[in-house]
Amino acid sequence: MITVDDLLLKIVNFSTPTIEEKITARDARVLRSLASSITATFFITENQSRLLVKILKENRKKLEEFSEEIDLTLKDPSWSKSFRQIEQIRKVSVDYKQFEEGRLNIEFTFNSQIRKILTDSKKIEGLVQVHPGKAYTAEYTEKNIITIFELLEPHEFVFDEPLYRHYDTIKSWSENEVKKPLFLANFTHTAFQRLTSEDGNLQHETNESIITDRSNRFQYLVEKTGKNPENLTDIMAYREKSRIWVSSVMHSLDDIFESLTNLRRFPLLVIFPNYDEKRAFQNLENLSISLEKSGISDDVGIYFRMDNNEEGKKFNQLISSKAYNHKLTKDTKVVAIQSGKIPKFLIKSAWQPMSVLSLDNNLRHNKAGVYSECCDLVITYSDAQPLVGIRHL
């Protein structure tokens, strides 16, 4: 009896008609590819043999010249050689050679299911594909060790020995025990107490909003209260990230200054956009009104000027008339700059903002945006929510 692989060679070498004339282009391509593998020294794999049998069964009626041979051969399939064995690689290791801090290496023989598991997971930090479909790297973190282990260990992955120990150690940690020293009441280090004393004695603070607000700044934990923020002050205090958006349609500039005052969030850096003198003058007028309502008349520095056209002159004259040109000191309460321009003296000075207010500008990829990273409260104040960078309202 003829073997399946010999039958395939007989079929693909038949010239009148060719297989391309009888079956679909895709199936014809697969059969010719398998025929090439059969004639090569490495033969075909067991999976490829199953595919070959499947295609022959599906096309036996179309290949009428060979339909009887196909039926007879596939009744008890045999092969002229042993199937080629593929080494199955499934391992996770740590690479210190290319990365000083170490990265997790995930290597595996191509497998669409494993690739889908990795690419669909949103929990793996810094996942990067380094070889199409079968090699990835990820950040070497405790979270990734747990996530990758629990995703891939059921699929018979082998991990470097230290990763097994790390996994067992991390899983032995008690979340409550780890978190306990990080709550404000349990911080006893003198350096922390000295740092927070400059912002008031937080460990004796009774204002819950201020305590929650400063947890972002000083990186301590607060008890979850389940409180739903109902006003702008609490929206700021209970933010999850440093950057938030405040709608200029729903809230006035006065509301923002009131909330900043309630949270003791001065000094303040105000950032104007680079364009439109008319809009800049309107922003400055509104800012001036809010400053006066907040009782801030001194220690204000507007450190940029507009061109001396009609609107630009009005902007510059308002600064002069309101005396918003104080020399910068560490006690300056409000500073204003343009987003694309940061005065050198501002960078070199000891002055630092407790909060940043950006008017009509999302601070993406500009000098002011980079400078603002030093602050844990950055407010974008505009009529429309920015498309990128901010999602927390």
Candidates 92, 90, 111; CA nearest to 103 is: 92
pLDDT in tens, 327-349: 999 889 999 999 888 899 998 99
pLDDT digits 0-9 by tens, 44-73: 988 899 999 999 999 989 998 899 999 999
User: Which residue's structure tokens are 């199955």?
Assistant: 88
pLDDT tens, 241-260?
899 999 999 999 999 999 99
What pLDDT is recorded for position 391?
Answer: 47
Local confidence band at 184 (pLDDT 50, 70, 90 cut-offs)? confident
Percentage of residues of the chain with pLDDT beyond 70: 97
d(CA 366, CA 273): 11
Q: Which of 29-33, 54-58, 225-229 has the lowest mean pLDDT?
A: 225-229
d(C-alpha 175, C-alpha 15), whole Å: 71
pLDDT at 221 over 50: yes
Q: Would you state the pLDDT for residue 374?
A: 87
**Whether the predicted pLDDT of 226 surpasses 50:** yes
Per-residue pLDDT for 363 more than 90?
no
Q: How far apart are CA 67 and CA 73, in angstroms?
A: 10
The pLDDT assigned to 107 comes to 93
For 276-288, what is each residue's pLDDT tens digit?
888 889 999 999 9
Structure tokens at 6: 């010999």
How confident is the model over 283-300, as a mean pLDDT?
92
Do the domains spanning 90-173 and 232-382 agree at the CATH topology level? no
At 234 the pLDDT is: 92
Residue 181 pLDDT class (50, 70, 90 cuts): confident
Alpha helices in 252-304 (DSSP H): 253-262, 277-293
Domain boundaries, the chain: 4-75, 90-173, 179-218, 232-382
- What is the CATH number assigned to the segment(s) 232-382? 3.40.50
Domain 90-173 belongs in CATH node 1.20.120: no
pLDDT of amino acid 390? 55
Among 361, 359, 352, smallest CA distance to 333 is for: 352
**Residues 345-354: tens digit of each pLDDT:** 998 999 999 9
What whole-number distance in Å separates Cα of residue 29 and Cα of residue 35?
Answer: 10
Asked whether residue 9 carries a pLDDT value surpassing 80, the answer given is yes
Question: For residues 360 and 127, which has the higher predicted lDDT (pLDDT)?
Answer: 127
Closest CA to 254 of 27, 246, 170, 149: 246
pTM: 0.63
Q: Token digits for 59?
A: 């096309």
Model confidence at 393, pLDDT cuts 50, 70, 90, reads very low
Q: What is the pLDDT of residues 117-174, one digit of tens each?
A: 998 988 999 999 988 878 999 999 999 999 999 999 999 999 999 999 999 999 999 8
